[in-house]
Amino acid sequence: MAITDLELHSFVRLPTIADVLQTLADRHAASQKTVVLAGGTDWVVEQEMAPPHKPGAELPMVVDISRLSDLQTIHLNGNLLTIGAAATYLQLRRHPHIGMGDKRAALLARMAQDLGALQIQARGTLGGNLATGSPAADGVAALMAYDASVVLQSVRGERTVPITEFQTGYKKSVRAPDEIITQFQISLPTHYNWYWRKVGTRRAQAISKVALAGVAVVESGQIQRIGLGMASVAPVTAALRNTRSYLCSAPLHKLTGAELDAAVNSDCSPIDDVRSTRQYRAHCARVVVREFARSLGAPV
Ligand SMILES: Cc1cc2nc3c(=O)[nH]c(=O)nc-3n(C[C@H](O)[C@H](O)[C@H](O)COP(=O)(O)OP(=O)(O)OC[C@H]3O[C@@H](n4cnc5c(N)ncnc54)[C@H](O)[C@@H]3O)c2cc1C
C-alpha cells in the first residue's frame, strides 16, 4: 500500500471512549478489521512501507482517537502520576509535574525531548509507542524504568497490566483486538535518582541503537528499588531483570563491573540491522548500565 491509498480507508472520529470501545467490539464480533489511530507516526509510516494494496482486499477502518481529551489527561494525585495514552510527547515535555515546574517525573521529559524531532513529538503518543510493539521504543523504556502499569479498556471493563508483562514477543502483546490502552499509572518514589541515555546516529532524530532509562532509590549505600528499561537490545523493550536483581543484591561498594556486565549480557540478545551491529549494541548496553551504576555510587 502506498501512502496515497490512505484515502481508501474509511475513517471515523468518535466523540467518546465508550463509542470507540463499542465500535471495536461490534466490528471485532463481525470479523471486521479496525485500527485505532493516535498520532499516526508509526501506523502511517507502516502503510507507506507495506506492499501495494490488492484490489478487493479488506482494508481496516481507521478510528481516530487523537482528539479524545479523556485520553490525553495527565495528572498527579499524591505520588500517583497518570498519563493518558494519547498524550503527546510535547504535552509531556510541557507538563508542570514532568518537564516544567516541580519535575517529579523529569525522566519522561528527557526521553520525550530525545524522541524524534518536534513534529513527531507534537503527534506521537506513549500509547502508540507501546501498542506498535517496536523493540526500539524509547517511551516504553522510560515507562519500564518507573515500573508503570498499563490500563486497558474494552466493553467488558477495565484491567491493569504491569508494563513489564505487556509485551509477549516481537510485535505481540496481551492486548485483545477490541481493547485500547487508556492510560499509564506510575507510582513515583519520593526521592529517586534517574538516568536516561540514548545512543543513536543523531541525538533525537534517529531511532535508538540502544537507549537506557533507569530509576533507583538508594538508602544506606544500597539500592532499595530499581527500574530499568532498555530499547533495541532484544525482541521487546527489555526490563533487564537479571541486571535489576544484581544491582539490588549487595551494598553498592560490593558490586563489581565484571558481574554487572555478566548480568547485562544475560538480559540482552541484540541483533545486527541497518542501525547497528550486535557487538556494538552489546557493548553500549554494558557501558550505559555501568554509567548509571557509577552515578549511584557503585565502583564499576
Ligand atoms: C521520523 C520519526 C522518528 C521517530 N523517532 C522515534 C524515536 O526516536 N523513538 C521512538 O521510540 N520512536 C520513534 N518514532 C516512532 C513513533 O513516533 C513512536 O513510536 C510514537 O510513540 C508512536 O505513537 P503514535 O501515537 O504516533 O502511534 P500511531 O501511529 O497512531 O499508532 C501506532 C500503533 O499503535 C496503535 N495504537 C495507538 N494508540 C493506541 C491505544 N491508545 N490503544 C491501543 N492501540 C493504540 C495503533 O493502532 C497502531 O497500530 C519515530 C517515528 C518517525 C516517523
Identify whether residues 41 and 113 lie together within a single domain: no
Residues 113 and 165 placed together within one structural domain of the fold: yes
- Ligand 1 atom closest to the Cα of residue 198 is 8
Q: Please state whether beta strands 61-64 and 11-13 pair in parallel, antiparallel, or not at all (unpaired).
A: parallel
pLDDT confidence of residue 47: 87
Residues with CB under 6 A from ligand 1: 35-43, 45, 85-86, 115-116, 120, 123-125, 127-129, 131-132, 136-139, 180-181, 207
The answer to whether 232 touches 208, Cβ cutoff 8 Å, is yes
Question: Is the Cβ–Cβ distance between 228 and 254 less than 8 Å?
Answer: no
What's the confidence (pLDDT) of residue 1? 47
Same-domain status, 80 and 102: yes
Q: Which of 148, 171, 187 is the last residue of a domain?
A: 187
Per-residue pLDDT of the chain (300 residues), as tens digits, is 455 567 788 999 999 999 999 999 999 999 999 999 999 999 999 988 877 777 778 889 999 999 999 999 999 999 999 999 999 999 999 999 998 888 899 999 999 999 999 999 999 999 999 999 999 899 999 999 999 999 999 999 999 999 999 999 999 999 999 999 999 999 999 999 999 999 987 655 677 789 999 999 999 999 999 999 999 999 999 999 999 999 999 999 999 999 999 999 999 998 888 878 899 999 999 999 999 999 999 999
Same domain, 208 and 275: yes
Last residue of a domain, one of 14, 35, 64: 64
Give the structural domain span for 88. Answer: 69-187
Q: 99 and 59 share a domain?
A: no
- What is the 1 CA–ligand 1 centroid distance (Å)? 19
| Same structural domain, 123 and 138 | yes
Ligand 1, atom 7, lies closest to the CA of 115
pLDDT for the residue numbered 52: 73
- Residue 293 region by backbone torsions, left for phi larger than 0, else alpha for psi between -120 and 50, else beta: alpha
Q: Which runs of E-coded beta strand occur in the chain?
A: 11-13, 34-37, 61-64, 74-77, 80-84, 149-154, 157-162, 167-169, 172-173, 180-187, 193-199, 210-219, 222-231
| Ligand 1 centroid from CA 217, angstroms | 30
What's the CATH code of the domain at 229? 3.30.390.50
* Count of domains for the chain: 3
Same domain, 105 and 36: no
Q: What is the pLDDT of residue 203?
A: 59
